[in-house]
Amino acid sequence: MNGSESVFRETSFMETSGEPRTEALPFSHLSLELGHVYMDDLVEDPTRLRRHFAAVRPWADAARAGLGTPNSGGRPRVSTCFLIDDYFSRRSTPAELIPPLLEAAAEAGLTIDYLARESACAGPVPGGSRPLADGSSRRGRAEPADWVLRRLVESPPPGTTGFRPPASCTGWLANGRRSPSLRVSPALNSAGTVWQPPGETDARVHSVFLDVELWSGQEEKRSWSCAFLSAVWQLVRLGLLRDDGHAVLAPAPWEDEGFPAAWDALAPVLRLNPRAAPFTAYVTCSVLPARFLPVEHAVRVILDQVHVESEVLGQVAMRCAAEGFGVPSEVVDRISYVFPPGL
């Protein structure tokens, strides 16, 4: 072959617009959380599980009944889930903890469709396959909490100067205007400067100001707060979290071969019921002890300032419209709670 000759290779072309940018997910109408408990509580009081599910049962039934009948006909799709805290404590193992958990739920007439690990919301956890240009694929390590942190979009309250660093640097996120900090000593302070109270951005008559800690410690050893991980958990359940268009924390089927002795050997989200409705849902409801109320208030503050990709929101909106199922436009309004007395 001389230099004047040309070499032709078979090449296929595809317009990028023909490739799906956002992975489509199956949706239930409701994701019903039957509990979110600390591992220490379960280890110290094994009977707590039975009391917990007995108290949850009537409220879970009420949440199902409140959905009514979808305009598309048939029964509403409801999936249940349970979140185990293996992030802040690992005093027990899956083999020790999960079987009595499932037994206690069954005794109360409840079925846990999906079991999730709270550490999965922090990451890293095994990611999905990523297609490459040559047709091969690679597997990544998903860090959901870090992704949500990068999607925070703070709305500066009116009158603020921007002196305070952003939440991505400080680890604190507020729902309004903080009390200004004097940068000089009181002796040097001008006579006209006085203390000002904090203020909620969307306050109705009076403010309920909240400053939320997102994490503690240095970046390389960051410890995410319970509120921030719970916000990630809500986004995952709503099907609104993506990694380059791919779903995050997709459920893995349970092979019914027993549970491992180590939490890291357990899938981040496990589908225990093979006949369960989809894990992700248009709206969520969580039945929790009242002590979680301040945490969930913080969750709402966080979700109110998370940017969700427009393609993901559009995809969900189209699916809802096709089923005639009304969903609030604001993400934070798609989550609800029940705090039963005595739980």
Q: Is the pLDDT of residue 5 over 50?
A: no
Domain regions of the chain by residue span: 28-147+224-338
Count CB-CB contacts under 10 A for residue 201.
Answer: 15
Residue 17, pLDDT score: 46
For the chain, how far is it from start to end, CA to CA, in angstroms? 82
For 126, residues 6+ apart whose C-beta sits below 8 A from its C-beta are 139, 141, 142, 268
pLDDT 10s digits, 46-79: 788 999 999 999 999 999 998 876 666 678 999 9
Mean pLDDT for the chain?
A: 83
pLDDT 10s digits, 283-302: 999 999 999 999 999 999 99
**Comparing 35-39, 102-106, 138-142, which segment has the lowest mean pLDDT?**
138-142
Place of tokens 């709270």: 118
| Tally of residues, the chain | 343
Q: Is the pLDDT of residue 80 over 50?
A: yes
Q: Is the pLDDT of residue 256 over 60?
A: yes
Residue 276, pLDDT score: 97
Name the pTM for this structure: 0.85
Residue 269, pLDDT score: 96
pLDDT 10s digits, 84-130: 999 998 888 999 999 999 999 999 999 999 999 999 999 875 544 33
Which among 323, 103, 343, 87 has a CA at the least distance from the CA of 228?
Answer: 87
Residue 240, pLDDT score: 95
Look at 220 and 125; give whichever has higher pLDDT. 220
- Amino acid residing at 338: V
**Comparing 13-27, 111-125, 281-295, 315-329, which segment has the lowest mean pLDDT?**
13-27
With bands split at pLDDT 50, 70 and 90, how would you rate the model's confidence at 44?
A: confident
- Percent with pLDDT over 90 in the chain: 56
